[in-house]
Amino acid sequence: MELEIAYAKSRGLNVAYSLAGDGPLDLVLVPGFVSHLEAGFELPALERAVRRLTRFARVISFDKPGTGLSDPIDGPQTLEHRMEDLTAVLDGAGAERAALFGISEGAPMSALFAATHADRTEALIMYGSYARGSATDDYPWAPEWDQVEAAAQMIDAEWGKGLWLDVYAPSVAADPEFARWWAHYQRVAASPAMAKAKWIAFPHPSKAFEYRGEALRKAWEKLHRGDREPFPKDPKAQEAWRLFHQGEFEDAVAKGLAAGGAGITAANKAEAIYANGVETRDAARVAHFEAVMKRAEAQARAEPKCANAHYLYAYAAGRYSQRISVVKALAEGYGGRIRRALEAALALDAKHADAHTAMGMFHAEILDKVGALVGGMTYGAKRDSGEDHLRKAMKLNPDSPIACVEAANGLAMLHGRKSLEEARALHSRAAAMKPRDAMEWIDVEAAKAKAR
């Protein structure tokens, strides 16, 4: 069967896609784990299946960035990244509306795309999919975390040798011809590094962080004293926050985006905290912060009275600036944007402790990087203002490890050696705190490292 291969542009990446047939319905095959457009059609069974689909549809297939004929990626991709890629493919193929055939891990993204872009979705088909990538009490048939980690190690050792054929296709696992094709398909579909480019697991799952049922409502005030987020009425948004507090950050993002409304705040905070405290790859961190900035900016436009939309934009933009260098970020105009976002958050809620912490660090980091003269004249950064915000955050949220950690860091930037003794005391104070959720566990561990 003749395949027409073309490329669409998404996020600066080339996304390979193919067209087959000319039926009246546009049908997109959304790939699962890995794929390769040309090598896939070397399998007669797959070629026959697509040929049958072309009897009534124009079949659009594509390789996700990081797989097959598409460009490589630097790290894990979010669901939003994948939706952008799908949109680019639809645009490139001239498909205004299409039926989505989501395969394996492509199915959850297809469902989110259908919910987000109903105007471009003709139908949704989910094949061999799942609701979660890891097991919980209410989803026990998914892999446990140790199994997920073991699978990642197997990719390093066995990728391209026919790994998992007995899992994916047990009926042909003994067929030597199929086994040879499968091993070749793995090698051309993705390198081991690309195959593993996924979210990293939170390293300290704990039942104490689960907050099932009404436990979430009862603990809400203490858990959210820093960001002052109202308890959401929508059960779907509540579930997204439960996943956030557990450290199930990837699932929290997916659930929050699917819920919309208050769920978007949960998704943004989950991805921002994951990027800052769990992700270890610089390029992936930058990509996550960019995704949060984009969503939070859109949320602030749609909900200008949502303090956390403004705050989370500033948080992500601040962390993004640290990754690309504060000086470079200031040159690109992020200093003014961050300040305006934090001012908006504090104007909406003067008791937003986390926004005070961020504003204090804004003053401290600018003065640390460009000095008092340029920092004051250009960005309005002042030592007294920075210290006031940091101390107010600790007063508003005295049991917060991050308020103490950031106050210690900020005071050291603002006052140098004069503040070292107080900074050490603040790190020790934070290190002694008992974390109430995954985010605080990350903050307490950071404090312990500083207090040693």
Give every CB contact of residue 99 below 8 A, 6+ residues apart in sequence: 25, 26, 27, 28, 57, 121, 122, 123, 124, 125
One-letter identity of residue 7: Y
Q: Which of 259, 267, 253, 224 is nearest to 354 (CA)?
A: 224
65-79, 140-154, 169-183: which has the highest mean pLDDT? 169-183
pLDDT of 163 > 70? The answer is yes
SS3 of residue 179 by DSSP: helix
Structure tokens at 194: 């690309």
* pTM as predicted: 0.65
Q: Could you tell me where in the chain the CATH 1.25.40.10 domains are found? A: 207-451
Residue-wise pLDDT tens digits, 99-150: 999 999 899 999 999 999 999 999 999 999 988 777 766 778 888 766 776 7
φ and ψ of 6, to 5 deg: -140, 175
Distance CA 393, CA 354 (A): 7
Q: Which residues pair with 30 in a beta bridge?
A: 102
Residue-wise pLDDT tens digits, 33-57: 899 999 998 999 999 999 999 999 9
φ and ψ of 345, to 5 deg: -65, -45
- Local confidence band at 368 (pLDDT 50, 70, 90 cut-offs): confident
pLDDT at 4: 87
Residue 421, number of CB atoms within 10 A of its CB: 9
Q: Which CATH number fits domain 1-129: 3.40.50.2300, 3.30.43.10, 3.40.50.300, 3.40.50.1820?
A: 3.40.50.1820
Distance CA 105, CA 114 (A): 15
- Local confidence band at 31 (pLDDT 50, 70, 90 cut-offs): very high
Residue-wise pLDDT tens digits, 421-436: 999 999 999 999 999 9
| pLDDT over 70 percentage in the chain | 97
Residue-wise pLDDT tens digits, 220-267: 999 999 999 999 999 999 999 999 999 999 889 989 988 999 999 999
pLDDT of 318 > 70? The answer is yes
Q: Which of 83, 87, 85, 107 is nearest to 96 (CA)?
A: 87
- Local confidence band at 385 (pLDDT 50, 70, 90 cut-offs): very high
Four-residue CA torsion sign, 137, 142, 146, 152: negative
What is the fold of 207-451? 1.25.40
With DSSP H G I counted as helix, E B as strand and the rest as coil, what are the percentages for the chain, rounded to 5?
60, 10, 30
- Mean pLDDT across the stretch 179-196? 88
Beta-sheet pairing, 25-30 with 57-62: parallel
Higher pLDDT, 438 or 73: 438
Structure tokens at 308: 């956390």
Q: Which of 365, 258, 346, 360 is nearest to 308 (CA)?
A: 346
Average pLDDT over the chain reads 91
Distance CA 284, CA 54 (A): 38
Per mean pLDDT, which range of 14-23, 110-119, 275-284, 382-391 is the poorest? 275-284
Q: Could you tell me where in the chain the CATH 3.40.50.1820 domains are found? A: 1-129
Q: What is the Cα gyration radius of the chain?
A: 24
Q: Which of 205, 3, 197, 5 is nearest to 89 (CA)?
A: 5
| pLDDT over 90 percentage in the chain | 69
pLDDT at 424: 93
Residue-wise pLDDT tens digits, 268-315: 999 999 999 998 777 778 888 988 999 999 999 999 999 999 999 999
Ordered alpha helix ranges (H), 303-382: 307-324, 326-331, 334-348, 353-379
Per mean pLDDT, which range of 63-72, 79-88, 151-160 is the poorest? 151-160
C-beta separation of 146 from 154 below 8 A:
no
pLDDT at 314: 96
Ordered DSSP codes for 399-446: T-HHHHHHHHHHHHHHHGGGGHHHHHHHHHHHHTSPPSSHHHHHHHHH
pLDDT at 218: 97
pLDDT at 133: 73
Distance CA 33, CA 18 (A): 18
